[in-house]
C-alpha cells in the first residue's frame, strides 16, 4: 500500500497508457489474425469484407497430399516441446544446484559462458550440428532436433534455476545434514520443494519455447516425418501450389492457441520467475 | 556429554584463523563463546558440528573421537541464527524430520514430537507452517527440532539476534530452562555479553582466534584478566582513565584517589571504573561537571567530564536530583577499582 | 570460503567433469568449425586432410555478383544489432522502473504478459507484421526489421531491468525526494547508477541477440539492401550455384568472432545479470 | 521550529489506521513516537515528512501550513532505518547532495559539508564510499546529510535498529548530542522503550493508532496512565498480579500487602510491581521460591514463584547470596505499587 503512495509525482493512468501503447502493436497484430482467419478478404484490402470458415478446412482435410495431416504435426510439436522442456528441466535442476552451491575454480567462467551460449547465433553452428547429427544417424529425426534444442535451451534453464537456488538459505541444508540426512535427501526433500515454483515456470517457458521453435526443425528435420507446426506453416506459405494467406492465418490461430491457454492457466506460476522468490 | 577440543587449528587458505585452541565443556554445562565479530567464535562452532573440517587438533565427545566424523554422524545439533526451519513443512514435520531420517516408526515419532513440543511450549502450533509463526515461536520450533533426537551437544548460533528486545528476554530464560531441564551440554555463540552472562555457566571470551579468559560470568565481570575483557563485559561499559600510580592514584586536573593496598608497583596505569562504582554514595575525590543525563526508567546514566578532561560514566537510581551542568565531587568504590598496565594486562 | 567447505559430500572435480561433459557438444562443434574453415576436407570424411585458406576468399572478393559485399553486410548487421539494443535499453529502463515502483491495477497482468510475449511464436505473427510493415512502407528496410526485433526483445529487457530496479531500496528514492530533488533527478542521479551493471549486461545481451537474429531479416527484409550476416550465410548455403560448405564455415567463423570477443571483454559485466546485484 | 499536527487521519483503502490524532512538538524538543509494530507510528512519521498524503487534519511547521506541500518543499528530513546512503557516491558527495540540488555554490557546499562533518565527527571519512563504513559511521553520515540543510524538523525512523548493542549505546548519546547542539526539533520513531526514555524530552506512547499517554520519560515510568503503558515501559518488565483490594491487598496463597492510602475503592484489581521494588530491603510480605537467577554483571534478575503460583521478577545488586530453590519472604516498596482496574485503567 505504501508503495503506491510513495511515488506521488507519477500518475498511474499515465503509466498504464504508456505501457498499453507499447503493447498495442502486438495486440493489434493478434486481433488482425483472429479477424482474418474467419474472414474472406477483398484482394489487397486491409479490412475484411465477409465471414468464411473455409480457412479452417485444414482441421478436417489434408492441405497438401505430400504432407502429413495437421493432427500428426500437432502431435509431433507436442512431443518436441514436452520432451525438450522435460530434459531442460532435469539437467538445469542438477547443474544449477552445483553452480549455486559450489565455489569451484572455473565457476565464474561457466556462469558467463552460459549467457553467451544463450546468445550464440544458432545459424553458425548449424553445419557442425548437421554433420554431427548425420554422423549419429539423428538427422531428419525428431530425436535429433530435440537433442539440439534442449542443448541450446539449457543455459537459460540453468541460469533461471540458479537464481532460485540462490534464495534457499545455506543454513537449511546444513540443518538437514545435521539432522542426519544424506546430501541427496537434503536436496530432494528440503531444497527442491523450495525451488519448485521456479521449476514450474521453467517447465512452462521451455515448453512454450519448444512449441515456437522454427529454425531448428526447418534445417535439421526437413522431411515429412518430423514436421512440427512451425515448419508446416512455413510449407503452407512457401509452397506455390497451396499458397493461401487465409489458411496460413487460421493455422496460426490454431498454433498459438496453446500459448494463450497456458498463459491464462499458469499466469500466477509464471510470475514466480521474477525475483526468484519462494513465496509460491 | 563432555566436549573436549584440543589444539584446534583452522586455516582459510593462507590465513590461520584459529591456532591451537583448547576448550573443555563439562557434561550438562552451558558455555558461551563470546566475542566481537571475526574473533573466530563461529568458526569454532562450525568445526564442532562438522560443517568445517579441522586443520589440526582433535575433538572428543566424552571418550569418543569425532574429529573426522562427517556432520551427519556426530550427535550434535545447531540452532541457527535464522532458525533454518523447512518452510514447506508444518511445524510437526519440521520437528519429526530428524526422526524420519533415522526411520523411527510412526508411533515413536508422534510420541517424541509431542513430548518435545510440550517441553518448549509449542504444543498447539504443530499444524502451522513456519511462515505463520512469530519469531519467538520459530525459535522454539528450531530448538525442538534440534533437541528431538537428544543430541550429545547442542550448539546455539546467535539464537536471539533476530528477536526484538522483549522476546529476547523471554527466549533467553526459555532456552536456559530447556537446557537445564534436559541437562544437555550446550555451547552458545554470541557477541552480546548480557546474553552470555545471563544464560551460561561459564564464558569463553575470544579475540582474534584466542580465548582471552574462560571463567564464570561473575568472575569475569568482577575479576577480568585484562583490559579487553573488562571493556567487553558490562553495559553501560566501563570507563578507562589514564592515571599514575604513586602514593595515591593521580589523575590529570588535580584529581586523585586513595591507592588500594592490593595494587603493587608504580608508574603510568590505565584505571578501569565501572559506572555503578562511581557516585556520591562513595564519598568524594573526583571533581567534574555533568555533561549528560540519560533516563532509563529505574536509573539514570550520567556522563561526567572531570576537571582534567576525562569522560566518565556513572549510573544512579532515578530521583538523584542532578542535572546537566551541575558540578560534582564524587567518590569511587575503592575495592572494585580495576587497574591495568599500559599494555592492557591486569595489575 | 566457507561455502566450499560447507558441501563436504560433493567433490569439486566431479562437478567440473559433469559440467564439462555437458558443455562438450558445443565446444566440439565450435572446434569443428575452426578446423574445417581452414582445411580442405576429403569428400564425405569427418576429419580434414589438408590446409587451405581458400574458404576465406569472401573477405576480399564478392561471392556472388547478385549480392552485396561482406563488408556492407557486416555494417548492416552492426547497425541492426546496435540500434536494436539501444532502443531496447532505452525503453526497458523506463518501463521497468515503472513496473518495479508502482502498484497499478494491471501490474500482475503486464508482468505475466511480458514472459509470454517473450515465448510467443514469432512465425505466427509474421503475416500480421508483414502486412503492417508494408502498410507503413517499412517492408524490406533495415528500419522495419529493427522495429520488429526491438519490440520482440523488449519483454526480456524489461524483465531483466525490473530485477535490478527491485534491488534498489525504496528509502534511497525517498531520501532523494527529501533532499529536494525532482523525481527525474532522483531517477537519473540516484537510481540509475545503481542499475547500471544491469544496463550494461542488457546492452551486451541484446546486441548479441540482434547480431544473431536470422528469421526476422530473412522474412521481413529479403532484398539485397538490408542483408545481414545471418541471411547472407543462408543465401550462401541455399544458393545452388555457390553452395560450398567450407566457405559457409569460414563465414560462420567470421560471423561468430564478435560474440567471442565481446564475451572475453565483458565477461565480468555479464556476470552481474545474475542476482541483479549492485556490487558492480 | 514548532510542529503542530491536528486531527490527523490516515486511511489505507477501507481501513482507518489513525483517526483524529493531535500532536504538538515544541521548538527544539525531541519527542519519541513509541509503540509496538503496527501501532501507526511510522505512518505518522511518513505523513509528517510528506511521503504519505494525509486523509484528514492539518500539519503546521510554526505558523506555516504544510499539509498539502510536496515532500520536496517541506523543510523536514528523515534519517531512515537502513540509512539510505547513496552507494555510488562518496561520503562528502552524499552529504553535499541536498546542497547541490539547491544549486549552492561550490565554496558554500565545501564549507557546510566540512562543518556538519565536524559536528558528527566524520571529518576523516569524507572520501570513503558508504560500503567502506561501519554501521555507526553510516549512521553518522545519514545524520549529517539530513542536517546539512538545517531543516525545521528532523525525523528519525528506528535509527538504532541496525546497530549492535555497543554502537547503539554510543549513537544514542551522539544523536542526542547533535540534536541538543543544533537545537533542532526532532521526532524519534522507535519500538524500544529504553531508546525513547534515554534520548527524548517527551514520549508519545501509541497503540492501535491512538496516543495512550504523552509525558516525560520519568512521568511515564513512575506514573503510567494504564496497564498497557506500565507493561510497555521498563526493562526487565513489570510483573502483573491478580489481587483483591480490601482492608489489605490480598493475593492468592495467603500472601497479602498493606494497602497504600492513595488507593480508593475495593474489589478485584491487577497489581503492577516493578522488579526493582521487590526484595529483602523492603521488609517482608510475599512468600515464595526462587525459580531462576540470571546474572547480568552488576545485578541479577531473580524469578520468584509465590506460594499462590504467581510469577514475579526482582532485580538485586549482585552479591545478594540467593540461589535457585531458596525460599524467600520479601517485601515491596509500597509507595511505588501500581494498581489497575480489571479493564486496565489506573486506579
How far apart CA B108 and CA B35 sit, in angstroms, is 41
pLDDT at residue D166, as a whole number? 76
What does the mean pLDDT of chain B come to?
90
C46 CB within 8 Å of a chain A CB: yes
CB spacing of C5 vs B51 below 8 angstroms? yes
Topology classification of domain B3-224: Rossmann fold (3.40.50)
Q: B47-85: per-residue pLDDT in tens?
A: 999 888 899 999 999 999 999 898 888 889 999 988 999
Q: Which of A34-38, A148-152, B294-298 has the lowest mean pLDDT?
A: A34-38
Chains touching chain C, criterion 3+ CB pairs below 8 Å: A, B, D
Q: What is the dihedral of CA D267, D270, D274, D279, to 10 degrees?
A: 50
CB spacing of C8 vs B53 below 8 angstroms? yes
Tell me the three cell numbers of residue B258. Answer: 586513595
Burial grade of C51 (CB within 10 A; 0-12, 13-18, 19 or more): exposed
Please report which confidence band the pLDDT of residue C276 belongs to, taking 50, 70 and 90 as the band edges. very low
Between the two ends of chain A, the Cα-to-Cα distance in Å is 21
- Which residues, numbered 194 to 223 in chain A, qualify as contacts with chain B under a Cβ-Cβ cut-off of 8 Å? 194
pLDDT at residue C16, as a whole number? 62
Q: Which residues from A are below 8 Å from D12, CB to CB? A: 1
Return the closest-CA partner of residue C252 out of A119, A120, A134: A120
- Judge whether residue A46 has pLDDT over 60: no
- Judge whether residue C21 has pLDDT over 80: no
The helix/strand count (H/E) of chain C reads as 12, 2
- Which residues, numbered 149 to 188 in chain C, qualify as contacts with chain A under a Cβ-Cβ cut-off of 8 Å? 151, 154, 159, 162-163, 166, 170, 173-174, 182-183
How far apart CA B298 and CA B296 sit, in angstroms, is 6
D140 CB within 8 Å of a chain B CB: no
Q: Which residues from B are below 8 Å from D172, CB to CB? A: 294
Q: Which residues from B are below 8 Å from A185, CB to CB? A: 101
pLDDT at residue A6, as a whole number? 39
- Which residues, numbered 198 to 237 in chain A, qualify as contacts with chain C under a Cβ-Cβ cut-off of 8 Å? 201, 205, 208-209, 211-212, 214-215, 230, 233-234, 237
* For residues B133-151, average pLDDT: 91
pLDDT at residue C275, as a whole number? 43
Tell me the three cell numbers of residue A11. Answer: 500518475
- Identify the H or E element spanning A138: none
Q: Which residues from A are below 8 Å from C16, CB to CB? A: 104-106
Counting one residue from chain B and one from chain D, the pairs whose CB atoms sit within 8 A come to 87
Backbone CA torsion sign across A158, A162, A165, A171: positive
Return the closest-CA partner of residue C217 out of C157, C155, C143: C143
How far apart CA B240 and CA B271 sit, in angstroms, is 5
How far apart CA D81 and CA B97 sit, in angstroms, is 38
When CB atoms are compared, the residue of A169, A174, A179 closest to B97 is A179
The second-level CATH assignment, the architecture, of C58-274 is Orthogonal Bundle (1.10)
When CB atoms are compared, the residue of C19, C29, C270 closest to A129 is C29
Please report which confidence band the pLDDT of residue C1 belongs to, taking 50, 70 and 90 as the band edges. very low
- The answer to whether B338 and B224 are in contact (CB under 8 A) is yes
- Which residues, numbered 61 to 90 in chain C, qualify as contacts with chain A under a Cβ-Cβ cut-off of 8 Å? none
Beta bridge partners of D187: D31, D155
Residue A230, helix vs strand vs coil: helix
Q: Which residues from D are below 8 Å from C176, CB to CB? A: 86, 97
Return the closest-CA partner of residue C81 out of C197, C196, C204: C204
- Judge whether residue B240 has pLDDT over 90: yes
Residue ranges of domains in chain A: 2-52, 58-274
Distance from CA of D28 to the nearest CA of C (A): 21
- Judge whether residue A277 has pLDDT over 50: no
Distance from CA of B50 to the nearest CA of D (A): 28
Q: Which residues from A are below 8 Å from C263, CB to CB? A: 112-113, 116
How distant, in Å, are the alpha carbons of A154, C207, C253 from that of C152? 21, 13, 27
D256 or C24: which leads in pLDDT: D256
C1 CB within 8 Å of a chain B CB: yes
Tell me the three cell numbers of residue B218. Answer: 561473575
C18 CB within 8 Å of a chain A CB: yes
- Taking CA–CA distances from A174, the nearest residue in chain C reads C6
In the numeric block, the cell 483490594 is attached to D245
pLDDT at residue B71, as a whole number? 87
Return the closest-CA partner of residue C91 out of C3, C155, C139: C155
Q: Which of D174, D294, D324 to mutate to test the interface with B (most CBs of B within 10 A)?
A: D294
- Judge whether residue A117 has pLDDT over 70: no
Q: Which residues from A are below 8 Å from C123, CB to CB? A: 212, 214, 230, 233-234, 252
How far apart CA C35 and CA C249 sit, in angstroms, is 9
Chains touching chain D, criterion 3+ CB pairs below 8 Å: A, B, C
Residue ranges of domains in chain B: 3-224, 239-340
Beta bridge partners of B78: B155
Helix A229-238 vs helix C122-136: angle between axes, to the nearest 10 degrees? 40
- The answer to whether B149 and B126 are in contact (CB under 8 A) is no
pTM score of the predicted model = 0.77
C188 CB within 8 Å of a chain D CB: no
How far apart CA D5 and CA D155 sit, in angstroms, is 14
Please report which confidence band the pLDDT of residue A111 belongs to, taking 50, 70 and 90 as the band edges. low
Beta bridge partners of B316: B300
Please report which confidence band the pLDDT of residue A3 belongs to, taking 50, 70 and 90 as the band edges. very low
Residue A87, helix vs strand vs coil: helix
pLDDT at residue D297, as a whole number? 83
Residue C223 has phi, psi (to 5 degrees) of -70, 175
Q: Which residues from C are below 8 Å from B71, CB to CB? A: 8
When CB atoms are compared, the residue of B71, B81, B88 closest to A193 is B88
CB spacing of D13 vs A1 below 8 angstroms? yes
* For residues D159-164, average pLDDT: 84
Distance from CA of A2 to the nearest CA of D (A): 8
Distance from CA of B55 to the nearest CA of C (A): 12
B145 or A34: which leads in pLDDT: B145
Q: Which residues from B are below 8 Å from D136, CB to CB? A: none
A278 CB within 8 Å of a chain B CB: yes
Please report which confidence band the pLDDT of residue A248 belongs to, taking 50, 70 and 90 as the band edges. confident
Please report which confidence band the pLDDT of residue C9 belongs to, taking 50, 70 and 90 as the band edges. very low
Residue B239 has phi, psi (to 5 degrees) of -100, 140
pLDDT at residue A269, as a whole number? 66
How far apart CA A145 and CA A80 sit, in angstroms, is 8
Backbone CA torsion sign across C210, C213, C217, C223: positive
CB spacing of C172 vs D49 below 8 angstroms? no
Residue B206, helix vs strand vs coil: strand
Q: Which residues from A are below 8 Å from D70, CB to CB? A: 8-9
When CB atoms are compared, the residue of C1, C6, C8 closest to B13 is C1
- SS in 3 state form for chain D? CCEEEEEEEEEECCEEEEEEEEEEECCCCEEEEECCCCCCHHHHHHHHHCCCCCCEEEEEECCEECCCCCHHHCCEEEECCCCCCCCCCCHHHHHHHHHHHCCCCHHHHHHHHHHHHHHCCCHHHCCCCHHHCCHHHHHHHHHHHHHCCCCCEEEEECCCCCCCHHHHHHHHHHHHHHHHHHCCEEEEEECCHHHHHHHCCEEEEEECCEEEEEECHHHHHHCCCEHHHHHHCCCCCCEEEEEEECCCEECHHHCEECCCCCCCCCEEEEEEECHHHEEHHHCCCEEEEEEEEEECCCEEEEEEEECCCCEEEEEEECCCCCCCCCEEEEEECHHHCEEECCCCEEC
- Taking CA–CA distances from A5, the nearest residue in chain D reads D52
The share of chain B scoring above pLDDT 90, in percent, equals 55
CB spacing of C121 vs A212 below 8 angstroms? yes
CB spacing of A5 vs D51 below 8 angstroms? yes
The share of chain C scoring above pLDDT 90, in percent, equals 10
How big is the CA angle at A30 (ends A25 and A32), to the nearest 5 degrees?
Answer: 95
- Taking CA–CA distances from A175, the nearest residue in chain B reads B84
pLDDT at residue B214, as a whole number? 95
B298 CB within 8 Å of a chain D CB: yes
A5 CB within 8 Å of a chain C CB: no
CATH superfamily of B239-340: Nucleic acid-binding proteins (2.40.50.140)
- Judge whether residue C144 has pLDDT over 70: yes
- The answer to whether C37 and C55 are in contact (CB under 8 A) is yes
Chains touching chain B, criterion 3+ CB pairs below 8 Å: A, C, D
Helix A122-136 vs helix C229-238: angle between axes, to the nearest 10 degrees? 40
CA B298 to chain centre: 24
CB spacing of B173 vs D199 below 8 angstroms? no
Sequential DSSP letters for A7-23: -TTS-HHHHHHHHHHHH
- Taking CA–CA distances from A164, the nearest residue in chain C reads C275
Q: Which residues from A are below 8 Å from B145, CB to CB? A: 175, 179
Q: What is the DSSP letter of C181?
A: -
pLDDT at residue D266, as a whole number? 84
Distance from CA of B74 to the nearest CA of A (A): 8
Q: C23-75: per-residue pLDDT in tens?
A: 666 667 667 666 666 666 554 555 556 666 666 777 766 666 566 778 888 89
- Taking CA–CA distances from D80, the nearest residue in chain C reads C171
Residue B114, helix vs strand vs coil: helix
pLDDT at residue D92, as a whole number? 94
* For residues B34-42, average pLDDT: 88
C227 or A124: which leads in pLDDT: C227
A10 CB within 8 Å of a chain D CB: no
A47: left (phi over 0), alpha (psi -120 to 50) or beta: beta
Amino acid at each position: 500500500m505504501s508503495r503506491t503512495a510513495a511515488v506521488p509525482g507519477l500518475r498511474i493512468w499515465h503509466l498504464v497508457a504508456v505501457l498499453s501503447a507499447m503493447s498495442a502493436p502486438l495486440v493489434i497484430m493478434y486481433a488482425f489474425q483472429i479477424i482474418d482467419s474467419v474472414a474472406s478478404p477483398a484482394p489487397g484490402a486491409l479490412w475484411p469484407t465477409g465471414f468464411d470458415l473455409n480457412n479452417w478446412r485444414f482441421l478436417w482435410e489434408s492441405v497438401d497430399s505430400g504432407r502429413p495431416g495437421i493432427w500428426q504435426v500437432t502431435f509431433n510439436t507436442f512431443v518436441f516441446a514436452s520432451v525438450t522442456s522435460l530434459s531442460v528441466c532435469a539437467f538445469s535442476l542438477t547443474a544449477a544446484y552445483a553452480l549455486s552451491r559450489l565455489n569451484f575454480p572455473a565457476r565464474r567462467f561457466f556462469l558467463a559462458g552460459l549467457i553467451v551460449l544463450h546468445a550464440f547465433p544458432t545459424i553458425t553452428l548449424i553445419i557442425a550440428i548437421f554433420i554431427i547429427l548425420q554422423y549419429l544417424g539423428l538427422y531428419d529425426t525428431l530425436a535429433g532436433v530435440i537433442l539440439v534444442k534442449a542443448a541450446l535451451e539449457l543455459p537459460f534453464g540453468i541460469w533461471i534455476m540458479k537464481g532460485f537456488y540462490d534464495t534457499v538459505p545455506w543454513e537449511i541444508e546444513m540443518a538437514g545434514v545435521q539432522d542426519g540426512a544424506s546430501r541427496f535427501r537434503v536436496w530432494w526433500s528440503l531444497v527442491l520443494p523450495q525451488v519448485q515454483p521456479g521449476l514450474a515456470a521453467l517447465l512452462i517457458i521451455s515448453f512454450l519455447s519448444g512449441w515456437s521453435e522454427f529454425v531448428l526443425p526447418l534445417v535439421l528435420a526437413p522431411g515429412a516425418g518430423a514436421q512440427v507446426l512451425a515448419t508446416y506453416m512455413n510449407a503452407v506459405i512457401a509452397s506455390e501450389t497451396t499458397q493461401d494467406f487465409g489458411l496460413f492465418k487460421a493455422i496460426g490461430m490454431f498454433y498459438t492457441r496453446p500459448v494463450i491457454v497456458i498463459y491464462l492457466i499458469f499466469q500466477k506460476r509464471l510470475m514466480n520467475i521474477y525475483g526468484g522468490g519462494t513465496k509460491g | 556429554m563432555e566436549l573436549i577440543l584440543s589444539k584446534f587449528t583452522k586455516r582459510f587458505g593462507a590465513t590461520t584463523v584459529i591456532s591451537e585452541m583448547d576448550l573443555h565443556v563439562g557434561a550438562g554445562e552451558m558455555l558461551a563463546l563470546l566475542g566481537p565479530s571475526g574473533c573466530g567464535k563461529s568458526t569454532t562452532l562450525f568445526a564442532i558440528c562438522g560443517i568445517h573440517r579441522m586443520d589440526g587438533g582433535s575433538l572428543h565427545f566424552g571418550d569418543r573421537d569425532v574429529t573426522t566424523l562427517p556432520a551427519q554422524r556426530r550427535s550434535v545439533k545447531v540452532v541457527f541464527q535464522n532458525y533454518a526451519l523447512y518452510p514447506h513443512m508444518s511445524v510437526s514435520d519440521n520437528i519429526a524430520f530428524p526422526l524420519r531420517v533415522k526411520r523411527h516408526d510412526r508411533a515413536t515419532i508422534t510420541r517424541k514430537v509431542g513430548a518435545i513440543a510440550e517441553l518448549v511450549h509449542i504444543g498447539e502450533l504443530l499444524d502451522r507452517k513456519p511462515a505463520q509463526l512469530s519469531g519467538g515461536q520459530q525459535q522454539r520450533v528450531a530448538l525442538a527440532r534440534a533437541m528431538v533426537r537428544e543430541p550429545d551437544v547442542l550448539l546455539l548460533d546467535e539464537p536471539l539476534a533476530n528477536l526484538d528486545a522483549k522476546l529476547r528476554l523471554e527466549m533467553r530464560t526459555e532456552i536456559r530452562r530447556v537446557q537445564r531441564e534436559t541437562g544437555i551440554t550446550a555451547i552458545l555463540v554470541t557477541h552480546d555479553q548480557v546474553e552470555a552472562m545471563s544464560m551460561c555457566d561459564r564464558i569463553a571470551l575470544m579475540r582474534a582466534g584466542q580465548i582471552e579468559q574462560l571463567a564464570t560470568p561473575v568472575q569475569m565481570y568482577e575479576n577480568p584478566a585484562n583490559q579487553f575483557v573488562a571493556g567487553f563485559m558490562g553495559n553501560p561499559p566501563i570507563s578507562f582513565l589514564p592515571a599514575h600510580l604513586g602514593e595515591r592514584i593521580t589523575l590529570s586536573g588535580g584529581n586523585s584517589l586513595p591507592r588500594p593496598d592490593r595494587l603493587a608497583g608504580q608508574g603510568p596505569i590505565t584505571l578501569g571504573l565501572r559506572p555503578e562504582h562511581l557516585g556520591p554514595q562513595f564519598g568524594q575525590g573526583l571533581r567534574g561537571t555533568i555533561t549528560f543525563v540519560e533516563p532509563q526508567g529505574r536509573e539514570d546514566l550520567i556522563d561526567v567530564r572531570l576537571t582534567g578532561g576525562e569522560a566518565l560514566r556513572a549510573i544512579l537510581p532515578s530521583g538523584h536530583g542532578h542535572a546537566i551542568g551541575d558540578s560534582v565531587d564524587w567518590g569511587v568504590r575503592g575495592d572494585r577499582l580495576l587497574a591495568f598496565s599500559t599494555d592492557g594486562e591486569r595489575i
